[in-house]
Amino acid sequence: MQFTAEMIAGFLNGEIVGDKSTAVSTVSSIEGGKPGSLTYLTNPKYEQYIYSTKASIVLVDKSFEPKESVEATLIKVDNVGECVLSLLEMYNASRPRKKGISKLASISEEATLGEECYVGDFTVIERGAKIGANCQIYPQCYIGDNVVIGEGTKIYPGVKIYEGTVVGRNCILHAGVVLGADGFGFAPREDGTFAKIPQLGNVIVEDDVELGANTCIDRAKTDSTIIRRGVKLDNLIQIGHNVEVGHDTVMSAQVGIAGTTKVGSNCFIAGQVGIADHVTIGNRVQIGSKSGIDKSVPDGEIRFGYPALPGLQYHRSFAVFRQLPDLSAKVRELEKRLAKVEE
């Protein structure tokens, strides 16, 4: 679908500098812009590219004044970042939706599907499952017994949802997500072997949650593993049994959270963080990448390192750590001098 500069400026309440009939059908970076694409200038250090970009339309702030001639049509707006987000949402909404139920899908007669659902090839939907209206379930997904999926949720290829799982409205589950596999629970026996502990709970994912590719969330031993409203999880994340993640918390790739840990709301957890079991993370906590958390963290704290330390303490410790080779050499030199004095 094409959009003209006039249409875009009208949507964004912007001012056109150039040809209002210029049309675009995609979005690009400013340095990699191609004819027929729209790009944007949000960071002044990229201004050099606006004079050479091949993109047809460039969004700029209303205060921007070019130092050289610009071939592209400019649209001046109040806030480029917000306008780019609005355009991306508009473009995504204009993309055609998949429709219909594949004849190659296996859907139990005891399952319920809402209106305008799409179900792709070789997807299996078991008995008692309830799928809300306008859901998109791509090929080769598995929806287990008595699973509930809210309206408008999109489930990409290869997602596996075990029995009893509840997924809210307007969620996005990327390829390879697994919800409701058994929690990692084993009891040691006297002979050194392990007895499997039955995992009898379920997983609850509330509304507006996005789960990245190959992320796994285990069912609870009893009760529920809960992912609250608005949580955004990156790819390759492991959430253990009986964990609860508070609303609007964000996690980057390869985070691992052990069982029965509670993570608060509005937290930011960077990549490859490991959190031990039975730990409580407060609200608005920030944890730096590769950190290891083995103790509870109060609201609003920042943690870095392994084992994780408060932010300021970590940076002070790291400043000393970087100097250890030099300090070691100085200590050896002082030891030699001291030995001579003692002689």
So what's the pLDDT on residue 318? 76
The whole-chain average pLDDT of the chain stands at: 94
**What sign does the dihedral 80-83-85-90 (CA atoms) show?**
negative
Q: Which tokens go with 161?
A: 């949802």
So what's the pLDDT on residue 197? 95
So what's the pLDDT on residue 311? 76
Higher pLDDT, 186 or 94: 186
Instruction: Please give the average per-residue pLDDT across 91-120, as a whole number.
Output: 92
pLDDT tens digits for 117-142? 999 999 999 999 999 999 999 999 99
Q: Is the pLDDT of residue 200 over 80?
A: yes
Q: Is the pLDDT of residue 104 over 90?
A: yes
What is the spatial order of strands in the sheet that 238-239 belongs to? 106-107, 124-125, 142-143, 160-161, 178-181, 216-218, 238-239, 256-257, 274-275, 292-293
pLDDT tens digits for 282-331? 999 999 999 999 999 999 999 998 777 787 877 787 788 778 888 888 88
Domain positions in the chain are 3-94, 100-311, 312-343
Active site residues: 241
Top CATH class, 100-311: mainly beta
Burial of 311 (0-12, 13-18, 19+ CB in 10 A): middle
So what's the pLDDT on residue 342? 84
Residue pair 241/223 in contact by the 8 Å Cβ criterion: no
Of the candidates 36, 32, 12, the residue with the CA atom closest to the CA atom of residue 22: 36
So what's the pLDDT on residue 264? 98
Does the reported pTM lie above 0.95?
Answer: no
pLDDT tens digits for 133-182? 999 999 999 999 999 999 999 999 999 999 999 999 999 999 999 999 99
Top CATH class, 3-94: alpha beta
Residue pair 150/171 in contact by the 8 Å Cβ criterion: yes
Q: Which tokens go with 181?
A: 């596999």
Under the banding of pLDDT at 50, 70 and 90, the label for residue 86 is confident
Q: Do domains 3-94 and 100-311 have the same CATH topology?
A: no
